[in-house]
Structures are given as C-alpha cells and as structure tokens.
Chain A
Amino acid sequence: MATLAHPEVLAPDFAPRSRPRIPRVIGGVLPGTLLVVIALLGPLALMFRYSFNRFVPGELMVEGFTLANYAKFLHDAFYRDVLLTTLWVAALSTLICLALGFPVAYALVRQVGSRWKSRLLILIILPLLMGNAVRTAAWMVILGDKGLLAALVSAVGLTPPRLMYTPTAVVIGLVSVTLPFMIVTLQSVIERIDPVLEEAAESLGAGHLTILRRVVLPLALPGLLAGTMLCFILSMNAYATPVLIGGPQFHMMAPEVYQQVAKAMNWPFGAALAFVLMTVTLVLTTTANVLVQRRYRRWSE
C-alpha cells in the first residue's frame, strides 16, 4: 500500500501532478442535510415554539408565551385518558410482539437453512410494506361482524365475539405491523451468538428453557431491547390502525394530534400534544434502556 500511495515510484510517466486523492466527498452531505434542516428540524422547532402560543377561536393563534396548552393536557381528563390508552395499548402490543417474535427469530436462525431463511424473511417483510391503509382494510375484512373470523367461529357453532371497534382489534392490528420489525431485529442479533455456547450448556446438562434463560437471552439482550423499543415507538405513534379499526370512540395520541392540527386548526394545543407524545415516548424508552443495561452489566459479571 505504501508504494501504491506514491505513484511516481510505480508509474512515473503517468503520475498525476497532485497527490492521488479519493474525490473530495465531504461536501456531499450538504444538500441532504439542508433538506432535513429545512423540512424537519425547522418545522419541529417552529411547532415547539407554537406550543406556547395561545389559541383564540376565530383568530386561530395569538403570539404569546404560556404553558396553558400543556396545563390543559394535564387537567383535561379526556386527554389524560387518551395518553393512558395509548400507553397500555402500546405496552401490550409490544409484549405480545416480544413473546411471538422471539421464537420465530430463534427458529429462523437455528433451525432453517440459509436459502429458506432469506425466503421467509421476504415473506415476513412483504406484508410490512403493503401499506397501512391496505393492511388495515384487510383486518377490517377479517375481524368485522361478517368477517372471516366470525364466519369461522359460527361454522363451529359458537357465537362470534364482537371484535371490530374494540381495543383488542387495535392490538391485533398493531402487532401485525410491528411484529416483522421485532423478528428482523432479533434475528440479526441471535445470528451473532455462537451456537457452541448453547451446545456447551446442553452437554453440561442444561434443559432448553435454562439455556434460553441463562445463555441466549442475556446475549440477545441488546437486540431484545432494540426490538422492544422499536415496537413500542411504532405503536405509540400509530395512526391508521386506531382510526380505522378502533373506530370513532377509540382515541390514541397520534390521531388526536392530526385532529387538532389539521381539523380543529388549534395549532398550539396540537403542537403541545405532539411534544407530550414524543417526550413520554422518549423518557420511557430511555428509562427502560438504562434499567435494562444496568441489569445486563450485573448479568454479564
């Protein structure tokens, strides 16, 4: 390499005048960065500032500096309930994702050949990219009063449960959106665990559940954490699923943000809702991260 870096040694006749250089590429980040600053960071900053403005019906928004919008959120039982609903629905779907995602990811890595693994991964990712509108429509057809599930349940002579427009249906819909993310994340982490460790534990007499608990889970913890957070964040911010499957009586945070900003045109309150949603999500995921990491360090000692 040292000789190649000095072309005059190798090919003096064709040596460029200046030192050979990989193209100056740092400037390449500028246009993209500019777009993100103008179309994301700037608007977010503007919206944050607006969350301290006052809303006067008829006049839209009045410049000011008040915490009234955040206070309204805290004092209004309706919005407190919206946040609580969002939290427990997101937490429940995340737990289900974790419980269902782990066995699939583990089986994909340990029990499936590489050819089939990549086919199955496409099969898992494809529904993810069919779009929220289409997927939600499909769940409406499956869970509706005259849907597939109801038809199957009646066929065996039972009364079908009412699922459409219930929190249960929303959780089912959310799990189907976030589960692929969980499986892909876990799969990539389990992939890096040496199977020899599990074989060693087995030869020392550990049962499969013990191996999972004492060997695989501690080593897969970073992935479990990443997958859990991803699912939780996606569920917290879900829009199409709660609106279409939850129905008009079911309220989660993201649809309320849309309602306030685009329909009621109450920008200050809509902005406050958006920042409450982001802050709560951030605080919870960071806390979980810190707690689990501390536990992890104790485990690995």
Chain B
Amino acid sequence: MSRAGIRRTYGAISGTVLAFIVLPLVVIVWVSFFANRILAFPAHGYTLDWYARALDTDAFRDGFITSVQTALFATAASLALGVPASLGLVRGRFPGRDAVQALLLAPMVVPGIVGGAALFIAFIEVEALLDIQVAGTIGGLLVAHTLIALPWTIRLVSASLASADRAIEEAAASLGAGPLTVLRRVTLPAIRPAIVAAALFSFVISFIDLEKSIFLVGPGRTTLQIALVNYLEWNLDGTVAAVATVQILIVGAALLVSDRYARLAQAF
C-alpha cells in the first residue's frame, strides 16, 4: 500500500471510531429538542418543552442541588487533603512512601460498586454502634465523594510538583523565607494551574459518580445521577435528554477550562 493509502486507511478508521465515541453525546443533545412523547426516531417536530419539564420535575431539581452541593464539598475537601498529601509524597523522603502513595491512589483502583458496598456496610455498622444516622444522609455521601475525588487531585498536583523547579524554593529559603512563606509565595503559585485543574476535575468526578452513590442515597436525598437512573428504569422521554444536555454543558465547560491549566490526558 502506498503512503497516501496508509494515511487514508488510518484516517477512515479513526474518523469512524471518533464518530462512535462522540455519537451518544450528539444524539442525546439532539433528541432533547424532539417533540415526541417517547424518545424515538424520526422526530415529530421540535420543542423546548422538555427543558421546562425537567425544571418542574422535583427529583431532577432536588438531585441537581444535592449533586452540586456534594461536588462543591468534595472538591474543597479533596484539595484540602490532596494538596498537602502531594507535597508530602513528592517533596518528602520517608520509609514506605511508595506504599502510602499506592494507598492514596487506591480509591481509583478499587471498583466503585465494591467500595460502595463496603462503605454502605460500614456505615450501617457505625449507625448500630453509635445510634446515629449515616447511610442515606448527606454526611455519608460527602465522605464517599471526597474519597473518590482525592486520587485525581493527588495525581494532577503531584505531576505538577514533580516538574516544578526545586531550586527556586531553595533560593527563597536561603534568602530568609520561612517554610510557610516559601509554601505560600513560591510552591503554591508554581502549582496553581494544577490546583485549578484538580478542583474542576474533582467536581466533575463527584458530580457524575453513580456506582458509589447508589448505595448511599436515601429517600429524599438523591444525587442527579441516581435520579436519572431511577427515571430511566420506567421512562425514556425528552426530560432525561434535557437534563443530560445541561449536564454535558456543565461538564464540558469544566473540562475546557481545566484543559487550559493542565493537559487533561495527563490525568488518565
């Protein structure tokens, strides 16, 4: 095969595969404007009614609010825990460092359903022991979401710290800056882009989580993803597509912004 032929073959395969990857995204946005009562092709005209309907659906509205609150908390908590942890992992030299690093990244490796099941069982045991409510409360959800956001924060921030020039920190210290001043005036500004990217990424990871949350939501306290899955079990109409479109816009915006600060592909 000629060079041009090889190029064309790769182009054709890649184009098809990319279309396959993007297809679900495009289709769900498209059908959110269909006037059909049940989602089906072809369209019987177009409408914006499903967006109004989505706003009127309590499960989606409340789920959205719970998801945003949870994701904001998980973002703040994963930064509060993840940035110091990354500093310790990258700048510190101590026995068992590799083990600690593996442990901190473990929430990414343990399957969501298995980790969720284990947390659910543990929460119920704690409830029985201390006579308080945990599973099905916002508290349990916040713990779980912080846990899943943490490894992503550590990966992004550690990568940035490892490539930051240490000589500048040493120079600042040698010129008389105290440890906290070095941290505040030199180290943190150097890794700020990674921190912004980690914050946005943590938000997205928490917002779209399904597997862990499914064990931890209770009556009246449902995240958006669980509300969507519950709705999908019985209905397939434009409401779901409208909610999905809004979610795609939010996640897409967060990703585009965070890509300006850190190469997204790096996080995977």
Residues of A within 8 A of B (CB): 1, 4-7, 10-11, 14-16, 20-33, 35-37, 39-44, 46-47, 50, 100-101, 103-104, 106-108, 111, 118, 120-127, 129-142, 144, 146-148, 150-151, 176, 179-181, 184-185, 187-188, 207-208, 233, 236-237, 239-240, 243-244, 254-255, 257-258, 261-262, 267, 270-271, 274, 277-278
Contact = CB atoms under 8 A, between A and B. Distances in A.
Contacts of B193: none
A26 B88 contact: yes
Given A4-B174, A50-B121, A127 B82 contact: no
Nearest to A9: B174
B14 interface: yes
B255 A122 contact: yes
Contacts of B214: 239, 258, 262
A25 B115 CA distance: 29
A243 B247 CA distance: 21
Contact of B120 (A10, A133, A261): A261
Contact of A142 (B10, B23, B120): B23
Given A21-B173, A125-B255, A103 B10 contact: yes
B104 A33 contact: yes
Interface of B: 1, 6-7, 10-11, 13-14, 17-18, 20-25, 27-28, 31, 38-42, 80-89, 91-92, 94, 100, 103-104, 106-107, 110-122, 125, 143-144, 146-147, 150, 154, 166-167, 169-171, 173-176, 178-180, 182-183, 187, 204-205, 207-208, 210-211, 214-215, 225, 228-229, 232-233, 236, 240-241, 244, 247-248, 251-252, 255-256, 259, 263-265, 268
A43 B115 CA distance: 8
B117 A133 contact: no
B91 A103 contact: no
B265 A40 contact: no
A134 B28 contact: yes
Contacts of A108: 14
Nearest to B91: A25
Contact of A147 (B40, B106, B111, B150): B40
A176 B22 CA distance: 9
A47 B255 contact: no
A117 to B, nearest CB: 9
Contacts of A146: 38, 40-41
Contacts of A101: 17
Nearest to A281: B111
A121 B267 CA distance: 12
B175 A39 contact: no
A1 B17 CA distance: 52
Contact of B42 (A14, A33, A151, A185): A151
Contacts of B205: 129
A15 B27 CA distance: 65
Contacts of B21: 123-124, 127, 176, 179-180
Given A32-B85, A32-B150, A262 B13 contact: no
